[in-house]
Amino acid sequence: MKLKVPSIVCEGCGNAITNAIKTHDSNANVSVDISGKTVTIETSASEDSIKKLITELGHTTE
């Protein structure tokens, strides 16, 4: 899945999101594009659960 996360502004944001997703699903494959403000995730977790993780970090998803 590919999510638009307009609140990503730096590598720290990307690392926090990646770590949260990996904690939820250690087998997830996460790629963060800071300039494009997108997060691409290969996971068995639901899209809703991933969006919830991202919003719990204080970010917004579209």
Does residue 23 belong to any structural domain of this protein? Answer: yes
Does residue 61 belong to any structural domain of this protein? Answer: no
Mean pLDDT for the chain?
A: 96
CATH of the domain at 14: 3.30.70.100
Total number of domains in the chain: 1
Q: What range defines the domain where residue 49 resides?
A: 2-56
Q: What is the dihedral of CA 30, 35, 36, 39, to 10 degrees?
A: 20
Alpha carbon 38 to chain centroid, angstroms: 8
pLDDT digits (tens, 9 = 90+) for 4-22: 999 999 999 999 999 999 9
Does residue 51 belong to any structural domain of this protein? Answer: yes
**pTM, rounded to two decimals:** 0.93
